[in-house]
Amino acid sequence: MASYAALAIANLSLQEQRNRLAMLEDRERIGMELHDGVIQSIYAIGMEVQLLPSTSGSIQAEGFDRVIRGLNNVIEDIRSYILNLKSAHYAQKTVRECFDEVILRLHVPEELEIHLDAPDSPPPLQSATFEAVCQIVNEAVSNIVRHAHATEASIYTESGKDLFQVIIQDNGRGFNLTEALDQNGLGLRNIQQRAKLHGGEVGIETAPTEGTRLTISIPVSLAHHRDQ
């Protein structure tokens, strides 16, 4: 009886530890989603609002409509992130549609031209993995909009049997990568952590005045091939 009781107590303790770990993982996931998705969207909406006083008439009305749509999208994103429903959203669209959506929601300024070369086909990754890729693209493009002072940027994909890559580059001012990593900013940390969680990696090539090239490399899982 004592042995059974000890075993039951041990199992209960193990379950509590699992529940605690799951809660911590959910907190970290939601934290990354808020930073890489919601906060970037709110920042873009803020930029749109700042420009509204300098416009008038129908242009201003269109601007207010975009702001309202943007806020509604943010509300829906928060709900989806909390319920972990975002993966299903990405699974229903093509790679190009998902990247187009990222660019649209960041309210890219007119002085920045973004070239997109992505397939009109379903993602070659599992839905949760492709969601992570889209969040990395969102963070990267947001950084270009906010910090790069670039006039041109490009996003294109390369897909092979075993590897899916997204390359994002700009002609902006670049930055010192060593210093940026030493500062341990949330953006770079989240980008690298997201890729790592899905067995991939992110390569960053940059230097002051030389622009930036970011390469996301994610292995195409065998499970996805079987699903196809």
User: Which structure tokens are listed for 200?
Assistant: 């991939």
Query: DSSP secondary-structure letter at 93?
Result: S
What average pLDDT does this structure show over 187-214? 89
Query: How does pLDDT run across 90-123, given as a tens digit for each residue?
Result: 778 899 999 998 898 887 888 999 999 999 999 9
Quickly state the pLDDT bin for 154 (edges 50, 70, 90): very high
Query: How does pLDDT run across 43-100, given as a tens digit for each residue?
Result: 777 877 877 787 777 777 777 787 787 787 777 777 766 665 555 667 788 999 999 9
User: Which structure tokens are listed for 26?
Assistant: 């959910």
Q: Please provide the DSSP assignment of 67-124 as one string.
A: HHHHHHHHHHHHHHHHHT-HHHHHHTS-HHHHHHHHHHHTT--TT-EEEEE--SS--S
Beta strands of 59-148 (E only): which ranges? 113-117
Query: DSSP secondary-structure letter at 147?
Result: I
Task: Give pLDDT, residue 41.
Answer: 75
R_g of the chain, CA atoms, integer Å: 21
pLDDT over threshold 80, residue 218: yes
Which domains are delineated in the chain? 2-227 (3.30.565.10)
Task: Give pLDDT, residue 142.
Answer: 87
Among 134, 107, 122, which Cα is nearest to 33's? Answer: 134
Class of residue 145 by CB neighbours under 10 A (exposed 0-12, middle 13-18, buried 19+): buried
Task: Give pLDDT, residue 223.
Answer: 44
pTM summary value: 0.65
